[in-house]
Every structure is written in structure tokens, then in C-alpha cells.
Amino acid sequence: MVFLLDWLTTAAMLFIVTAGLMMIFGVMKIVNFAHGALLTLGGYASFVVTQLRLDPWLSWPLALLAGVVVGCVVEAVIVRPLYKRPLDAILATWGLGIVIGQLIVIAFGRGVQFVDAPLQGTWSIAGLPYSAYRLVLIPVALGLCALLTGLLNGTRFGVKTRAVIMNEELARGLGIHSGRIRFVTFALGAGIGTLAGALITPLSSVDPDMGLPWLVGAFMLVMVSGHSMFSLLVTCLVFGACQVLVSTYLSPVLGGLTIAVLAALMLRIRPQGFAHG
């Protein structure tokens, strides 16, 4: 039972921190090294909410908003000229991550900050007390997955996005405003990244480096899962299970390596990842 809960909540957390990167890296093929900094930004959005003594639940929409705004600016100023130069985009987003990190240090200082959690205490699941907030992350992850899948596969916007990614020339020829599509997708991805930062704050510390440890794992998961939200969810479930199993039965130190090692193996054996048939 404990394993089941640990597994599902771990997978939910992995999915939440990875979803924003999926939009930008998985869908738009921009290697966004600023994703860690976006997570951090989300953490500080909830810190601002705490400082203003607002309801902690407000940190979610505020973080999303902050991310979308930052995403808009970054897309227009930094990323737009780099769609055809993916290697330069790596450097640019890496640098952007450093800049965001330093701006946060200037604004809030280097120390660890503390944020009010929207939900405290435990819920009893089959007689077992379990962290309520972690349990809430499960429906949040599922909801996010359903929403994004719906958006990418079920709406006109999703079709256009995929058209732009597959063949931009052709899409433009068909009258799709590709610049606007990229702009919206990037902003949305950034917004989901910061939202994830706010979502994990009750379980992690808020400091200028808080997003960094998630970055590598998130990249691995997106690379393995391809470009659909559903396959990302499956990947998170499989890799989350492995991580929890290794942490529980071997050692948590090895558990921290599980995702990286498995992803490397996976890409060796099956370079196209989970998603493609």
C-alpha cells in the first residue's frame, strides 16, 4: 500500500515538473535549459503570495501567470530568432536560466525561503496516514495531462501547433500564423513550468537553485517519452516505479540515479522513445 502511494505520488510529481518542458522541448523541439529556472520562479511566486499574506491556493494561478508573462517576453526577445539554430538555443536558454537565477538572488537574496502550504496534515488511506498534499498531486497531474492532451489533440490550436512543428513552410502556406502558434505554445510551456514550481514548494525548499535538481530528470523523461502528453504520463509512471523500488529496496542514493541510467539504456535500445508505436 505504501509502495502504491509512494509510486503514484512520485509519478505525479515527475509528471508535473516535466509537463512544461514537454510543451517546449517535446513539442517545439527547443532545448529549454531555462526550465529549472522557471520552476524556481514558480517557487518564488508562491513565496510572494506568502509574503503578501494571501491565500496559499492563489500561488497556483499567480505562478502560471508569471510564467506565461515571462514566457511571452523570452519567446519574443530570445527564442524567436533561434528556432532554426537549435544549438544556439541551448546556449541561450542556459544563459537565460543563469540570468533568471541571478535576478531572483538580487530580488530575494540567496537564502532559503519559506512558503505557506495550501494543504497540511495527512489523510488516512486504508488506515495509513499519508501526506494530504502529495495525494492531491495525483489528480492534479491527471487533470494537467487530460487538459494538455485535449489541447494538443482535440483543438484547432493543437492541430496547428503540430502542423507548424512538422512542416512550418507548408503550414504557413495553408495560412497558419506560425509565429503566433510558437509564441503561444512557448508561453504556455513556460507557464506550466512555473506552475509546477509553485506546486512542489510545499514539499521542497524555496531557494535560487531549487529547480536545478529536477532539470536533468525532466529532460531524460521528455527525451524518452517522445512528444505526447499521454506517453509522458506513462513514462513517469514506469520510471517513478523504478525510482521508488530502487530507493526502497536498494538505496535512495542509487534511487536518485535511476531515471538517468534507465533513460540512457532506453535510448540506447529504442532511440525513438516510448511514443512512436
Task: Round to whole Å and give the CA distance between 27 and 228.
Answer: 8
Question: Based on CB atoms, which residue is closest to other proteins, 178 or 248?
Answer: 248
Task: Round to whole Å and give the CA distance between 45 and 51.
Answer: 10
Helix (H, G, I), strand (E, B) or coil at 137: helix
Task: Round to whole Å and give the CA distance between 180 and 72.
Answer: 11
| Closest distance of CB 102 from other proteins, Å | 12
Which three cell numbers mark 267? 535510448
Nearest to 46 by CA among 194, 198, 191, 193: 198
- DSSP code at position 76: I
| Closest distance of CB 94 from other proteins, Å | 18
Using the rule CB under 8 A, which residue among 106, 203, 264, 265 binds other proteins? 203
Footprint on residues 151-180 left by other proteins (CB under 8 A):
none
Question: Based on CB atoms, which residue is closest to other proteins, 163 or 245?
Answer: 245
Using the rule CB under 8 A, which residue among 102, 122, 153, 272 binds other proteins? 122
2 near other proteins (CB under 8 A):
yes
248 near other proteins (CB under 8 A):
yes
Nearest to 44 by CA among 227, 263, 206, 185: 206
**Amino acid type, 58:** L
Listed ranges 162-170, 180-188, 222-230, 248-256: which one lies at the site for other proteins (CB under 8 A): 248-256
Using the rule CB under 8 A, which residue among 61, 129, 143, 154 binds other proteins? 129
End-to-end CA distance of the chain: 32
- Residues 227 and 266: beta-carbon distance below 8 Å: no
57 near other proteins (CB under 8 A):
no
Nearest to 34 by CA among 112, 110, 103: 103
Using the rule CB under 8 A, which residue among 99, 205, 265, 272 binds other proteins? 205
103 near other proteins (CB under 8 A):
no
Using the rule CB under 8 A, which residue among 25, 47, 133, 186 binds other proteins? 133
Q: Which residues bind other proteins (CB under 8 A)?
A: 2-3, 6, 9-10, 13, 110-114, 117, 120-122, 129-134, 202-205, 207, 209-210, 212-214, 244, 247-248, 251-253, 255-256
